[in-house]
Structure 1
């Protein structure tokens, strides 16, 4: 039994997809529809969905931005992108964000059925079989030696770098790079309850390498063995990627970390600590980026409940603690010191209280205000406030809505717009889910049932 969310700013399109999927043989029992990304995010925060189908070009929030938000908060929800645009760059961006497939409008029913079935049932291990493990490792051992030298040796001359990159045969194009340090707990991996033997650990690591290559394929990822049981990955970005205003590169890097953790857990039942570096320009920056990634992964001892760590968060935390300028390598601007309480949580709650009425409020807006990644922001907010960040936003909106319904005669649509909802119908659904009453029922009850409703 599956539950699906369809997001499209053309109600006719989403209704057609909804009706078709409900009458298919895929055992789909419920299909919700949303007219924009903000409604979709609200649905995803309130319910569990097995699949999201979204248009790319929508007002207020594009499908690419929606995918970024989905994977920041629920990285295990698969997404299929539907768009009238046949340009490859749209497809490439959506695939880089982890989209399961890409369809062009008008969508043929047989093709829609095929990709939905594939997304709902795809559970096979990505990558190659573990057979031929030793042969595969031997064939790539020399390449891994060159890569390890590039990411660990700080004193290479420009001639050395050119010689090594030449040996790698154009594998490193860049010109921008990021490094990921993956530390897998192999002692508790696998789906059997038996103790993991040394041989099984080697097989699991080989499988993990294949999973990493598959996960990072859209980022021109290069994955190889690090020291001990660690795995190192290099991702590459072009100048076009870095300059695209639709792409928040740092947010996508953090999203990659969530995808890696999800895939290792899903396919190997393995817990992993993921350390993410910032971005550097040129091959010569790789040793420094590896140090950042390792430093980030090392934070797991301080935050045991967190699995993905971004070096930019660490640099910002150290800056706040010391009151000094953060390192250039963090590639983020220093924060402006607030006039009031300097604590991060105080700044977060203050920003939310001042902006929760904005229907376009996103977690990226809040994270940019306090200069933390969205993932780390969500983690520290829940740790310190004992509640989910978006539950906090919704609670503020509902309290203000209740106040307006009691103290004013504003109509439902006026209240909806005043507290941060673009659709009165969506506001009513959210209100009832949170409070168990419709806005009209609440107003009547709050006023003792002795006044006519102010809204039609």
Structure 2
């Protein structure tokens, strides 16, 4: 049984897709519709969906921005993009962000059925492409040797670095770099989840290298085999990319980590621990960045249920720990989500939950943690999901307004952070089990009964 979310700012389009999918033979039991990205994110926070279909050009939040938010919070949800635009840049950006397919309106029903069926049922096998020719292998090995020298040797002279970059033939352009340390679990992989034999591990690593190259193409990624079964990747950003006001650097890096985990799981059905460095300027920073990435990946020993670790979170936590009193009796890891941090998070949410455009990136910027780590420490300390907390605040204020004022439904919706009264009503009933009108009637009836008594 499958549950699908359709996002389009034209309700007739959403309704048409919903009715068509529900009448198909694919065992689709529910199709929810949202008119913008913020409504879609609300649905995704409340329910588990097997697939998202989204338009590209929407007011307030584009389909591309929606995909970025999805992969920040639920990286394993597949997405299909449906757009009236045939522009190659839209398609390329969508597919590199992990979209399963890109369809152009008006969509043929048979084509829509085909891509939805593929997305819901596809089980991809490891890439078993033929190994490259020996000459190509030697050239690749030589390139990896030069790269390994750059990322591990701290005592290179400027002349050494100039020689190595010359040998690499313009492969590294920068000027800003990040390093990713990927530690893949090769013990079990493939969709049969069988134990991987020793001779097959080399093939799996080769497949993983291909996946990494494809995943990081948008960020001018360079991948090389690390020590043993580990993999090292470099990303390169221009000054414009680094300073892009639409997305913070650490949010962008965190999204890259989530995409890597998603693609390794999707294509190889294998788990991986991913350590992400901060950004450094110039190739001389690469050894330090590799050390950061390895340190971040090592954090998995303390938090085994977590996959993606950003060194910026680690550095931030060290700063917080140094600010604590020495007699706390807590280790650095136990102090990770100190009450002061949770207080800052909850205070920010309480001040901003009425903003319908509130995103996890906004909160993470406030406390200088990545979105994934923010969600992790909030749930660990508060024993509830961050967005359940946001919704609870909105619903509590909505209850007060419905019970004590004569504000209309749309006025209450806007007051507590919803742009659509219809969406507010659906969320209200989902959380409280009553429509706003039913709740008001019950609340007012209770007040009268109490007054009479």
Fold conserved (TM > 0.5)?
A: yes
CA contact (8 A) 1:126 1:214 kept: no
Q: Residue by residue, what CA displacement relative to the aligned partner does 1:68-109 show, whole Å, maximum 9, x if unpaired?
A: 211111111111223344444433433332222333444454
CA contact (8 A) 1:406 1:447 kept: yes
- Secondary structure in structure 2 of the residue aligned to 1:278: coil
Q: Residue by residue, what CA displacement relative to the aligned partner does 1:13-68 show, whole Å, maximum 9, x if unpaired?
A: 32333334344555544322101111101111222222212222322222222112
Q: Residue by residue, what CA displacement relative to the aligned partner does 1:229-253 show, whole Å, maximum 9, x if unpaired?
A: 2210112223443343334442122
Q: Residue by residue, what CA displacement relative to the aligned partner does 1:364-390 show, whole Å, maximum 9, x if unpaired?
A: 111111111111100000011111000
- Secondary structure in structure 1 of the residue aligned to 2:187: helix
CA contact (8 A) 1:444 1:450 kept: no
- Secondary structure in structure 1 of the residue aligned to 2:166: helix
CA contact (8 A) 1:71 1:258 kept: yes
Q: Distance in 2 between matches of 1:255 and 1:43?
A: 20
Q: Distance in 2 between matches of 1:240 and 1:370?
A: 24
Aligned to 1:199: 199
Q: Distance in 2 between matches of 1:110 and 1:192?
A: 31
Cα RMSD between the aligned structures?
Answer: 2.7
Q: Distance in 2 between matches of 1:159 and 1:99?
A: 43
Superposition pairs for residues 73-112 of structure 1, below 5 Å? 73-112=73-112
Indicate the larger mover: 244-253 or 434-443: 244-253
Q: Distance in 2 between matches of 1:113 and 1:164?
A: 51
- Give 1:305 deviation, angstroms: 2.2
> Does the C-alpha gap of structure 1 residues 397 and 79 become closer, same or farther in structure 2, counting only changes over 3 Å?
same
Aligned to 1:328: none
Q: Distance in 1 between matches of 2:370 and 2:385?
A: 16
Is residue 274 from structure 1 mapped to residue 271 from structure 2 by the alignment? no
> Does the C-alpha gap of structure 1 residues 275 and 408 become closer, same or farther in structure 2, counting only changes over 3 Å?
same
- Secondary structure in structure 2 of the residue aligned to 1:448: helix
- Secondary structure in structure 2 of the residue aligned to 1:202: helix
> Does the C-alpha gap of structure 1 residues 246 and 88 become closer, same or farther in structure 2, counting only changes over 3 Å?
farther
TM-score, normalised with respect to structure 1: 0.87
> Does the C-alpha gap of structure 1 residues 196 and 89 become closer, same or farther in structure 2, counting only changes over 3 Å?
closer
Aligned to 2:228: 228
- Secondary structure in structure 2 of the residue aligned to 1:180: strand
- Give 1:352 deviation, angstroms: 0.8
> Does the C-alpha gap of structure 1 residues 342 and 74 become closer, same or farther in structure 2, counting only changes over 3 Å?
closer
- Secondary structure in structure 2 of the residue aligned to 1:53: strand
Aligned to 1:348: 345
- Secondary structure in structure 1 of the residue aligned to 2:124: coil
> Does the C-alpha gap of structure 1 residues 275 and 356 become closer, same or farther in structure 2, counting only changes over 3 Å?
same
Is residue 257 from structure 1 mapped to residue 257 from structure 2 by the alignment? yes
Aligned to 1:32: 32
> Does the C-alpha gap of structure 1 residues 109 and 448 become closer, same or farther in structure 2, counting only changes over 3 Å?
same
CA contact (8 A) 1:95 1:218 kept: no
CA contact (8 A) 2:51 2:120 kept: yes
Q: Distance in 2 between matches of 1:176 and 1:141?
A: 25
Is residue 395 from structure 1 mapped to residue 392 from structure 2 by the alignment? yes
CA contact (8 A) 1:55 1:81 kept: yes
